[in-house]
Amino acid sequence: MRIAFLIGEFPSVSETFILSQITALIDCGHQVDIYAECPSKVVKKHGDIDRYELQKCIFYYPTVPKNWVARALGVLPLLFRSTNTRLRPLLEALNIYRHGELAASMRLFYRAIPFVSREDHHYDIVHCHHGHVGAMGVKLREIGAVAGQIVTSFHGYDVNVIPALSGSDVYKELFQKANVITANSQFTIEKLMDLHCAADKIVRLPVGLDVSLYSFREREVSQENAPIRLLTVARLVEKKGIEYSIRAVSKVIEKYPNIQYEIVGDGPLLRRLQQLIVELRLQDSVHLLGWKTKEEVQKYYEQAHIFVLASVTAANQDREGQGLVLQEAQAMGLPVVATLHNGFPDSVIQGRSAFLVPERDVTALVDRLMYLIENPGSWAEMGHVGRKYVEENFDITDLNQQLLDIYRKVQMSKGA
């Protein structure tokens, strides 16, 4: 199959699951082209970018000038350079009577450029990651910039923040014209239905991982008073709730000073969290380690005893979707303490592979962490349950086969 992926920034540190999906499809023999925004800043490049020579199949959207005059002047040479066959989509992209603000702002025009610049814009599948990207994909197909059956995957931000900002009918056209909508959890499915997406158009498709790359190990304390290592892998943003896990650890350390809490990730809250660590006098126990490669992250998983993810609903209504790190941690055999947050109940087995507590409830976090610290004999059993759950529900091979089945059904419905 010939597949176009329409995504946001690429590469993205926080969305390596999309990269894994792309490389798996390539491994299956399918041709994949990637249409994306250039990263807003230099990001550390994932090794698979080079291994799969993905730079050859990435097509970046041109930057839309902030100044309206500069934006309009940029349109003219692009129009004059276009062939007759590709001029029509560009002219249609400027039709404000049909496309409203997208045309008036010229955003639709600039989004169409990478497609009309190519000889072949026909695909079997146009897979859009995130709802707002899918809405743009529908418009690009409507103006003739791209052709193909549209599959749109929703993850979290797109069903929470965007409708809160733009209204509950923001995806009305997408829900009508997309061929299939996928959702990563039951929570996301329910949010989509609240936004009036037809239930028969939604397919649940979690984000997966290659379980074979995550080595299982039973967790145990090597000797009395040895450090007990807690781990969080997350971007340093509000919805990850790292402030609350740090505050919980500060309470736990009062009784168990041998705790070491390591936080892998980077983000805009770095300075604020550094200040919190100093205020709570945790410099010797809590460590912000910054961004790490996939291989380095796995080493931290291997060294840890307990995984923590205290995610919360952010002030702008941003929430987690599935929380792929929960699957990674369970695949490695780590018992988990997390929150009753969105898709998390689908991501773990409550009470068996993980404990889930209310959002922002530091006391409850402390209680569950103390239980695990005082009952290390429970770690191995929780680890085995979690590993089996991930193998049965989140293996990338199985999920990519499900994705291909979705693609094939869409193709069959086209021919019906």
How does pLDDT run across 309-319, given as a tens digit for each residue?
999 999 988 88
- 213: Cβ contacts below 8 Å, ≥ 6 apart: 298
- Percent of the chain at pLDDT above 70? 95
* Tokens found for residue 412: 């069959």
Distance, in Å, from the CA atom of 134 to the CA atom of 128, rounded to the nearest integer, reads 5
**Which comes out higher in pLDDT, residue 414 or 189?**
189
Whether 221 and 335 have beta carbons less than 8 Å apart is answered as no
Mean pLDDT of the chain: 91
Read out DSSP for 198-265? Answer: -GGGEEE----B-GGGS-------SSTTPPEEEEEE--SSGGG-HHHHHHHHHHHHHH-TTEEEEEEB
| pTM confidence score | 0.86
The predicted pLDDT at position 242 comes to 97
- The structural domains of the chain, ordered by start, are 2-208+395-415 (3.40.50.2000), 211-393 (3.40.50.2000)
- 165: Cβ contacts below 8 Å, ≥ 6 apart: none
How does pLDDT run across 22-36, given as a tens digit for each residue?
988 898 899 999 999
The predicted pLDDT at position 43 comes to 52
- Of the candidates 375, 269, 388, which has an alpha carbon nearest to the alpha carbon of residue 327? 388
Q: Is 282 helix (H, G, I), strand (E, B) or coil?
A: coil
Whether 121 and 85 have beta carbons less than 8 Å apart is answered as no
**Average pLDDT of 56-79?**
84
Place of tokens 């009918």: 169
The predicted pLDDT at position 41 comes to 59
